[in-house]
Amino acid sequence: MSEKKNGQVNLIIDGVRVTVPEGTTIMHAAEVVGVKVPRLCYHPYLSTPGACRVCVVEVEGAPGLVASCAFPVAEGMNVRTTSPKLRQIRRNIVELQLDNHPEDCQTCERDGNCELQRLAYQLGVRERKFAGEKKNYKSDYKAPGVIRDPNKCILCGRCVRVCGEVQGIHTLTVAHRGFESVVVPTFERSLADSVCSNCGQCINVCPTAAFLENMNYDEVWQKLSDPHVTKVAQFAPSVRAAIGEAFGIPPGANMEGQTVAALRRLGFDYVFDTQFTADLTIMEEANELVNRIKAHGTSDLGPGKPLPMLTSCSSAWMKFVEQFYPEYIPNISSCKSPMSMQGALIKSYWAEKMGLGAQDIYSIAAMCCTAKKYEAAREELRDENGLPYVDAVITTRELAWMIKSMGLDFANLEPEEFDNPLGESTGAGAIFGATGGVMEAAVRTAHQMLTGEEMPDVNIEAVRGVTGAIKEASVEIAGITINVAVTHGMGNAIKLLEAVRRGEKNVHFIEIMGCPGGCIGGGGQPYAGQDAVPMDRELMAKRASALYGIDKAKEHRCSHQNEHIQKLYDDYLEKPGSHRAHKLLHTHYRQHFPHGVIPGRGIDGNQESCIRPSDPRFLELEAFINERKGRPHEDSELIPVLHKAQNLFGYIAEEAVEYIATKMQIPRSKIYGVATFYHYFSLSPRGQFRVSVCMGTACYVKGAGDLAEEFKRILGIDFGGITADSVFSLECARCIGACGQAPVLMVNDEVHTRVTVPQVQKIVDQYQEQIGKSGSRESETAAR
Amino acid sequence: MSKKNHKHRVVAVCLGPSCRKKGGQALFDNLKVEIQRAHLSESVEVVETGCRGLCARGPVAHVYPDNITYCRLTPNDATRIVQGHLVSGHPMEDKVSHADRIANRSFRLFGDARFFGKQLRLTLRNCGVIDPENIDEYLAVRGYEALAKSLTGMKPEEVIQAMRDSGLRGRGGGGFPTGVKWNFAATQKADTKYIICNADEGDPGAFMDRSAIEGDPHTILEGMAIGGYAIGAHQGYIYIRAEYPLAVKRLEIALEQARAHNLIGKDILGSGFDFDIEVRLGAGAFVCGEETALIHSIEGERGTPRPRPPYPSVEGLWGKPTVINNVETWANVPVIILDGPEWFASIGTADSKGTKVFAVAGKVRNTGLVEVPMGMTLREIVYDVAGGVEGGRSLKAIQTGGPSGGCIPAQYLDTPVDYESLKGIGSIMGSGGLIVMDETTCMVDVAKYFLEFTMNESCGKCTPCREGTKRMYEILERITSGRGEEHDIELLEELGETVKFASLCGLGQTAPNPILSTIRHFRDEYVAHTRQKRCPAGVCTQLITYEINDACIGCGACARKCPVKCISGETRKLHTIDQSKCIKCGECFAACRFDAVTRS
Ligand SMILES: Cc1cc2nc3c(=O)[nH]c(=O)nc-3n(C[C@H](O)[C@H](O)[C@H](O)COP(=O)(O)O)c2cc1C
Ligand code: SF4
Ligand code: SF4
Ligand code: SF4
Ligand code: FES
Ligand code: FES
């Protein structure tokens, strides 16, 4: 072995010598020698749990196998990534996954696109030796954007990590433990009733179909054969930049013309471009920015202040603000998203032009986004009759399915043009789809609005690119310095908004896109292909390059130069910010519940107002929490606090979780995940007398099992159950350290030792009698 | 503890000026009278000694050869000493003192009563001997002297060297050399470091740590403080099961007292060294005994383990270097410092030094805690220390290491208990659970019991353990209910290997041990269950068959008892059981007074 020097490590992988930087994992080192170790839970942008164990390898001298994704290389290490034993073990692991997974590949939305399926095939799983009981959970189809089917989940944890680590939302947690582990929102409620933003990143990273968009294409098919309505479609910039991937076309191809053609072949009478209303959004938004600056100057900054102004076109981000940052609602531009503007124009301006009523039009949007489904359903975005402007939203994936199911040769379709007047766009409209695009487009037009002159160079490179988390730039317009910031992914948004709140960032205009990379990385985009990684930044960059390519090729690159936009204002809207523009193109936002929790942010008035319980036990809980405030690692007090809550309430009540979440600023999902992990905590009320039979080894060999059976028989309940009159509940305890007197059981805190089966009835009677005596003793005090 | 142990005994009463004045003389006189009255004059002698230097706690008396020193005696105690100690063999625990340096050890060798005879109480030296809620008693038995010695007379490196020289290995199950672990943490450059005492003790059937804490909490605190000094940590945590309220209470009391005496807290004993300890409660998860899971739990997270490296000694609690040791490990630390690593290393075997505490349970006469020198054989523990198998039945197997361990068949009874030997026969030392099983135990049922435990306690993070333990349990359930095939044994072995090698943490890695070791040593029982659908031990109810043999006199007692009325036969003629209807309740077996109903 050669000497280890300047942070380089030498090792052998499958007999090949390789030198890699210190700290590299075996998995990455293996890639250097051309081996892609099979993997499942690993994702390069997320933390590494080392959980699935598919990536195990042999390291000479190590007692077991090691997870290559998590194990760092060491000098002189000798690694084998394949051997008969490894192949068998990997196959067994994947088989174990399959054994607890529905056998419905042929009817599954991800058939052909599923990482589990691919892995099973690749590793040669050809039989099911260990099949047994399978999980059986209810699916959650309630949210308009994202739905869940936990039965398909293989617990890789990527969704939990993306939602927490990347999006900062923490909708999800792994709850319970062992074979009962399941990924759920807090208290296993629907996503619709949670803090979920509908961003769909969980869909993107999930290897299986455990998360999906709430599909609308069936309904669209139905309507397409309805002769009484005029079928109108629009699609987002990013759809054209990515849909090709679903047909095996290399990423980065602009499929605009083919998509228009395909939509017509599907039966749409008119195909309009969301890029047209992207241009319109810029007109309205730039106008709003200019007005805010003119009215208030550029120094009144902060949440609730005129500036910074925040963009409003990302629907996941909007829901996020309403739940997590209500104090920023006044900062948000009142502009609707391009999709909603287009929807409104189709059923007003265009309908009038065509002599159609709103009810005569079926208007759909194909979007890169799952949250757009949520947006389309929003109350605020309906017409005066309460009808939606956009009747259905389908994702890029759904559109691709429709095209495939029709059998169209998508790649070779003759490109077609959009219909007008709502189909013309400038380069500014196209770049909307990539992070930084809205900002760049807005600045181009704001410049013209403030100075009356075109920008000499319209390319603002500083705000482009999918790698930078927070991109900042300053532009001088008419002697005013406008500081802008751009970010993508809600986790980054939190960082930026916190910095603004603390007064650390002197910015005037902020673009926020809910998904990493912007719309091109939306939750509705085609799944990553065979060897690709979901959310891959290189893939995002390629999709973005398709949009910047469109921009570059356009004659007009600024929204205000769009002739149809000019005509729209002349004929119909009058001018940006006009009364009619407001009615059709603007909206408003309001606080939504549950209020989102941002760890470490500190509690604010908005949240304080949500919880004012009168029950004195909450005051005691609060005192307990406050006592721990300011200690180092405050969050670590969660378990002591849960113990306290259980002491106070007898169990971990949902209101208590809500209270703790707010007071301690710990996401509800995390509290739920922790509370359900530990068997000491009960999530449901327990009996006045809690019988726990020790099933520890010493007690078991002395007949504890028979005692348990006797209790079950007498009380008529199973472990975990509670009698109908709430007097007894039965639990199974693990060694309470009284093994010498086995078998042992406890009733509340009273220990009964050397219990025999005939004594069980006596014990039950003894406690039953106590109830008789104390009469109507409050069950709450007894539960203490 | 019987009378036959009275050989020649001497009660030496101190009649130095101080003791004499405080009633020593009266005590001396009373003892003589009591001894005569008990007819012990032949075997017990009362002698007078000079000052023993324990004047503050006089009057003092010492009993030889038990090596028990009593202090704060009153003249009336004479009766108790004679009747309780000398006659019945129960030393008067409340007055025993341990400041006795006769053996020049910080602990006392128990008398020669049989249960204690082969024991060597190091970590439990003070348990049941001092008042655990009174720091003065701990101080009287040289408590906190090791800490003082470390802080004032030793460099941190020297403390670590002493630990290395002692050969002490972790008592929590892994057996990792403690000094080496400390050294890792000590050599890390970090602004903050932590000490953790692992008192999660999740192994069902084990209660060593509970007893150690309840009986002698200060030793743990002292050990931790020494550890903190050695690695440069100023904060320690004790992670203890919520199921141990008394232990928690005693720790809290001990902490308060130690703080009041400036033995814990800022500037300990004026040395400039700060060290404080906080008690954190677990919440019912066996896996939280695993060190990384435990750390997550202290941090307020789900108690799931994470891959190592980095090891806690490099990146532990809140990412800082952390030494985590078991309760028993910590309890050894003051002893090693006080009596020297060489002395400690003289106890035990070549690779396993010192003593080990076992919680002996199951089918033995004396269940309870025993502490024996490493290297003692299983036979000695079971027969000499624990009194042999209950009810005179024969021993079938010994289970050590709880759900992570294996079953050791009777033919290995002469195996010495040390880390390597136990591993060699398919089990582990574990944390100290030792369950004795007799011939009425079904080994497949035992394996199923442990699998049920690990299945329920699996954290669910990694696939092999989450899914694999469930499937292994299902297969065992199949086998014990008569639905198993012989092929299932191979499936168990294959799956067992996968779970063992591929799981993330020790729980999964060891979960198959109870299965693999029982298949290894008791394969015929598995075969009987699968091939002949028979449970040799008669435990698996669904596999039991009740039959009536020729001894039947046709009294009909069985038929009257049978709840499903599946026994038929004319009076005075041989009865028969309809096997297709039999629910295996065993009522007939119990009812027959002529041994005509057989169970197989
Ligand atoms: C599933 C599992 C449970 C464990 N439970 C305990 C325990 O209850 N107490 C303990 O001290 N160590 C336990 N351990 C071992 C710890 O991970 C760790 O090795 C030990 O606390 C280190 O201390 P030691 O070196 O003093 O033994 C457990 C390990 C595993 C894998
Ligand atoms: S849609 Fe987004 S916010 Fe909702 S659960 Fe998935 S990742 Fe989290
Ligand atoms: S839902 Fe999908 S991403 Fe989430 S843990 Fe399950 S398999 Fe993994
Ligand atoms: S082996 Fe079991 S307990 Fe350990 S991490 Fe895996 S699932 Fe969790
Ligand atoms: S990819 Fe390494 S453990 Fe899952
Ligand atoms: S096994 Fe029941 S108290 Fe220990």
**What is the predicted pLDDT for the residue at A702?**
84
Question: For position A614, what pLDDT does the model report?
Answer: 78
Rounded CA gap, A707 and A697, in Å? 14
**Contact (CB<8Å) B502/A53:** yes
Under an 8 A CB cutoff, do A176 and B460 touch? yes
A64 and B509 within 8 Å at the Cβ level: the answer is yes
Residue to substitute in A40, A43, A114, A158 for testing ligand 3 pocket (most ligand atoms within 8 angstroms of CB)? A158
Closest ligand 4 atom to Cα of B305? 5
Query: What integer pLDDT is reported at residue A783 of this predicted model?
Result: 36
Pocket test for ligand 6, best of A692, A702, A741, A744 (most atoms within 8 A of CB): A744
Chain A CB contacts of B470 below 8 Å: 132-133, 178-179
Residue A165 to residues A23, A202, B376, Cα–Cα distance (Å) = 22, 12, 53
Domains assigned to chain B: 3-114 (3.40.30.10), 135-345 (3.40.50.11540), 355-438 (3.10.20.600), 443-530 (1.20.1440.230), 545-599 (3.30.70.20)
Q: How far is the CA of A693 from the centre of ligand 6 (A)?
A: 9
Helices first, then strands: H and E counts in chain A: 29, 21
- State which H helix or E strand residue A480 sits in: strand A480-488
Where exactly are the structural domains of chain A? 8-82, 218-410+420-525+558-583, 605-677, 689-783
Query: In 3D, which of A372, A397, A392 has the Cα closest to residue A242?
Result: A397
Instruction: Identify the pLDDT of residue A756.
Output: 92
> What is the distance in A from the centroid of ligand 4 to the CA of A244?
41
Cα-to-chain-centroid distance, residue A615: 35
Q: Is B503 on the interface with A (CB under 8 A)?
A: yes
**What kind of architecture, by CATH, is found in domain A218-410+420-525+558-583?**
3-Layer(aba) Sandwich (3.40)
Q: Which residue among A51, A677, A740 sits closest to B462, beta carbon to beta carbon?
A: A51
Return the active site residues of A: 285, 288, 313, 333, 372, 375, 380, 519
Question: In the structure, what pLDDT confidence band is assigned to residue B397 with cuts at 50, 70 and 90?
Answer: very high
- Mutational test site, ligand 2, from A153, A167, A203, max ligand atoms within 8 Å of CB: A167
**Structure confidence by residue, pLDDT tens digits, B517-573:** 999 999 999 999 999 999 999 889 888 888 999 999 999 999 998 888 999 999 999
With a cut of 80, say whether residue B99 has pLDDT above it. Answer: no
pLDDT score of A781: 37
Candidates A558, A511, A69, A529; CA nearest to A317 is A511
Contact A348, A585 (CB under 8 A): no
**Nearest residue (CA) to ligand 4, atom 1:** B508
Q: Does the structural domain A689-783 have CATH classification 3.40.30.10?
A: yes
Amino acid (1-letter code) at residue A15:
G
> B114: pLDDT confidence band, cut at 50, 70 and 90?
very low
Model confidence over A437-452: pLDDT tens digits? 999 999 999 999 999 9
Tell which atom from ligand 4 comes closest to the C-alpha of B509: 1
| A48 C-alpha to ligand 5 centroid (Å) | 8
Q: Cα(B82)–Cα(A591) distance, rounded to whole angstroms?
A: 81
Q: How far is the CA of A701 from the centre of ligand 5 (A)?
A: 39
Contact A510, A472 (CB under 8 A): no
CB proximity under 8 Å: B 131-170 to A: none
* Chain B residues within an 8 Å CB radius of A695: 204
- For residue A164 and ligand 3, the question of a CB distance below 6 A is answered with no
Which of the following CATH numbers is that of domain A8-82: 3.40.47.10, 1.10.3720.10, 3.50.50.60, 3.10.20.740? 3.10.20.740
pLDDT of residue B417: 93
pLDDT, tens digit (0-9, with 9 covering 90-100), for B407-451: 999 999 999 999 999 999 988 998 899 999 999 899 999 999 999
pLDDT band at B583 (very low <50, low <70, confident <90, very high): confident
Q: How far apart are CA A608 and CA A659, in angstroms?
A: 10
Give B30-72 pLDDT, tens digit per residue: 999 999 988 888 888 888 766 555 666 778 887 876 667 788 8
pLDDT of residue A115: 96
pLDDT attached to residue B56: 64
**Which B residues, 350 through 409, put their C-beta within 8 Å of a C-beta on chain A?**
359, 361-363, 367-368, 399, 402
* Helix and strand counts by DSSP (H, E) for chain B: 23, 18
Q: What is the mean pLDDT of residues B142-148?
A: 94
Q: Which residues of B touch A133 (CB under 8 A)?
A: 470, 474
Closest Cα in chain A, distance from residue B537 (Å): 13
* pLDDT at residue B104 is higher than 90: no
Atom of ligand 3 nearest to the CA of A116: 7
Rounded Cα gap, residues B435 and B367, in angstroms: 9
Ligand nearest to the CA of A48: 5
Question: Contact A418/A267 with Cβ under 8 angstroms?
Answer: no
Residue B315 has pLDDT above 80, yes or no: yes
CB contact under 8 A, B502 and A154: no
Residue A683 has a pLDDT of: 93
Mutate to test the interface with A, among B463, B483, B501 (most CBs of A within 10 A): B463
Closest CA to A699 of A755, A731, A739: A739
CB B14 within 8 A of CB B24: yes
Place of tokens 């509370």: A675
A140/A192 Cα distance (integer angstroms): 9
Distance A62 CA to ligand 5 centre (A): 18
Tokens of A118: 């691919």
Q: What are phi and psi of A37, to 5 degrees?
A: -65, 135
Positions of chain A with pLDDT lower than 50, given as ranges: 1-2, 775-784
Whole-angstrom distance, CA of residue B14 vs CA of residue B12: 6
Range of lowest pLDDT (A630-639, B9-18, B199-208, B441-450)? B9-18
Nearest CB among A85, A177, A737 relative to B210 is that of: A737
Helix (H, G, I), strand (E, B) or coil at A733: strand
E strand or H helix that includes residue A655: helix A654-664
A155 chain-B contacts, CB cut-off 8 A:
460-461, 463, 466
Q: What is the pLDDT of residue B112?
A: 31
Residues in chain B closer than 8 A to A157 (CB atoms): 461
Exposure on the CB side of residue B150, measured as CA atoms within 13 A: 35
B 290-329 → A contacts, CB under 8 A: 297-304, 306-307, 309, 318
| pLDDT tier for residue B207 given thresholds of 50, 70 and 90 | confident
**Rounded to whole angstroms, how far apart are CA atoms A156 and B462?**
8
Ligand 5 centre distance from Cα of residue A54 (Å): 6
Cβ atoms of B274 and B268 within 8 Å: the answer is: yes
